[in-house]
Amino acid sequence: MTLGADHPGSGKHKVAIVGSGNWGSTIAKILAENTEAQSDVFQKEVKMWVYEEKFQLPDSHPKYDSSKHSKPSNLTELINELHENPKYLPGVALPEHIIATPDIKDCVADASILVFNIPHQFVPQICKQIEGQHLPYARAISCIKGVSVSEDGISLFSDSIGKRLGIYCGALSGANIASEVAQEKFSETTIGFSPDDSKLKPLPEGLPKVDHELIQNLFHRPYFHVKMIDDVAGVSLGGALKNIIALATGFVDGLGWGDNAKAAIMRVGLLEMRKFGKMYFSNSCRTATFTEESCGIADLITSCSGGRNHRCAKLSIERGKSVDEIEQSELNGQKLQGTLTAKEVYEFLKKEGTTEEFPLMTAVYNILEGTVKPEELPDIIDPKSPKRSPSPHKL
């Protein structure tokens, strides 16, 4: 496939987003606002791939029509009709030039910029469907928070997507709770993007170069500020590993231990995140990214305060149920990323023989498995602390 002179969007980038959960729909909103505002660079239409499912529009919805909505409808049809994702982002108006499609090949076919926003366990099968169906010179951004673990080791989803599709893929991550961004409350994010254009299929003549400036213009909104950096690994790892730490702080909050305890867990968690990057991605990861950028410390703070991983872990303690059970009852069909990431990171660390180097991340996995109690966290993260002596007042 090539973008010829007679192509209706010749000289302009076309954007497609793969994924339509609450964060995917929010990012689609941002992209569509910017493609409309920058018509000299981008085609206005933004296609959004939706995993097709049935959804019953509640009769309380302001656009409910009993002649059309008395039975469950295809989610894609509802999104295109209502210009809203009523299941995953209810109440938020989406630009009318976002076109939802259940056909992933149709979604990506003529897009020069692909944005991935799907649960990370589905990346391999989605890439398999896209392979050979996309423009060979396309560039991509991954908004997926997780890591890919296989027999070959551990890798970033930006790298996995790029290698599988033969294109370049950067990464976006930051302190971004989807509902707040969708409501246009101020937030910031980090995008790691550092392609070696000499090794990529060149863009057609006349199509603007996909560099830091173009990507920033595509994602930046008055309510959503974007910082561009080269450290794709740091951005990706910050987004993945903070979900494990958020589970730990959720356990602590569920126990009612207060803010001092949560701060201690976050401090240890940040150190383990930075250490992980230094040990396993030393050639590309800048350790300062974890302490200086939104994808690091800011995302950690947000996720440990109001993110879904923290909330579900907290509820699991309060209700005496497993995190998996809470996920099923609370997330409206969406999946936690922290539980799967904790398992994958633990399996990798066990294979490397370094679980003791990361006591907090290891403990989170063991708590999820039921072999460690959350109450044991203080001694696990600081095993050398002196044993408590009886209070002299009790002697």
Catalytic residues: 242
> For residue 247, which of 81, 368, 161 has the smallest C-alpha distance?
368
| DSSP code string of 135-162 | -TT-EEEE----EEEETTEEEEHHHHHH
Contact residues for 188 (Cβ-Cβ < 8 A; gap 6+): 174, 175, 224, 225, 226, 227, 294, 298
Report the C-alpha gap between 97 and 189 in whole angstroms: 24
Annotated binding site for substrate: 145, 308-309
Q: Which are the contacts of 346, defined by CB distance < 8 A and separation ≥ 6?
A: 355, 361, 362, 365
Q: Which amino acid is at 222?
A: P
Q: Could you give the CA distance from residue 320 to residue 29 in angstroms, rounded to a whole number? A: 38
- Residues annotated in the binding site for NAD(+), as ranges? 19-24, 122, 178, 308, 335, 337
The annotated binding site is made up of 19-24, 122, 145, 178, 308-309, 335, 337
Contact (Cβ atoms closer than 8 angstroms) between residue 52 and residue 75: yes
User: Nearest CA to 36 among 81, 83, 93, 97?
Assistant: 97
CA dihedral 160, 163, 164, 170 (to 10 degrees): 60
Q: Enter the DSSP assignment of 116.
A: E
- The CB density around residue 350, as the number of other CB atoms within 10 Å, is 12
Residue 356 tokens, joined: 């003791």
Contact predicate 74/100, CB 8 Å? no
Strands 42-49 and 13-18: parallel
Cite the beta strand spans of the chain per DSSP E: 13-18, 42-49, 54-55, 73-74, 98-101, 113-116, 139-142, 147-150, 153-156, 168-173, 187-192, 224-229
Question: What does the block give as tokens for 70?
Answer: 């008395």
DSSP secondary structure string, 341-376?
HHHHHHHHHHHHT-GGG-HHHHHHHHHHHTSS-GGG
